A = this chain, B = another copy of it.
Amino acid sequence: METGRESVAGTKRLPRAVRERQMLDAAVTCFARHGYQTASMDEIAELAGVSKPLVYLYLHSKEDLFTACIRREAEALLATVAGAVGDPDVPPDERLWAGLLAFFTHAADHPDAWVVLSRQARTQGEPFATEAARMRDEIAAFVAGLIGEAAREARDGAAITERDVTALAQALVGSAEALAGWANETPGVTAREAAATLMNFAWAGLGNLMKGERWSRR
């Protein structure tokens, strides 16, 4: 008797790796729900099903724990997107689409992780903001690379400066973040739909930009 869930909940003496994963999972949930400062180590430990000292034994401090969360989730997201963008022989718009789709899907599948990365990490001052910026920059670099590639294919690509590209990447990543948050919080919005919106919005705009068409007061 007492099979299934009970046996899992009551199982003691798990190997360290398993416990660490449980703790990180719990921490991501708590940090997403309450923010870094408000989340308490007590609650995280309880949610992880372990005692507080064990959390400290394995993760050393609240700061280290938060950093570990950011790193794990950032790497998971980056790996997913990088894997989807993949083959450099595919035309850049296809690769952007694949990346966007993977991005929104991942964000939808791991909403807590996404909140931690996009909202909490960036607002908690220095040890963390840098960590989060690293991931953001890596994604922005991805996008900038694709834009640059597309620009080189177009005739007047030279009309775009590097700062333009950076600014565009910022705008694009910002859109993606906003859409991901909106999609996650609005019932019925799929990752595919969010990706399509951004793709339509961005690719067309980018295309015009490549051709040197700029808005100016009539």
Of A7-15, A77-85, A198-206, the one touching chain B: A198-206
A94 and B37 within 8 A (CB): no
B167 and A179 within 8 A (CB): yes
| Complex contacts, A174 vs chain B, CB 8 Å | 174-179, 181
Inter-chain pairs besides A174-B175, A174-B178, A174-B181, 6 sampled, C-beta below 8 Å: A120-B123, A200-B208, A200-B214, A204-B205, A204-B214, A208-B208
The number of residues on chain A lying at the interface, defined by a beta carbon within 8 Å of a beta carbon of chain B, is 52
Cα–Cα distance between A171 and B124 once the two chains are bound (Å): 24
Sampled A-B contacts (23; CB under 8 Å): A34-B125, A36-B37, A37-B38, A38-B124, A119-B123, A120-B123, A123-B123, A167-B179, A167-B189, A167-B193, A167-B194, A167-B197, A168-B197, A170-B182, A171-B178, A171-B197, A171-B198, A177-B178, A200-B215, A202-B205, A203-B205, A204-B208, A207-B208
B38 and A125 within 8 A (CB): yes
| Complex contacts, A36 vs chain B, CB 8 Å | 37
Return the contact of A35 from the options B124, B175, B199 (Cβ within 8 A). Answer: B124
CB contacts under 8 Å to B, within A147-193, are 164, 167-168, 170-179, 181-182, 189, 193
Flag whether A213 is at the interface (Cβ < 8 A): yes
Cα–Cα distance between A93 and B176 once the two chains are bound (Å): 23
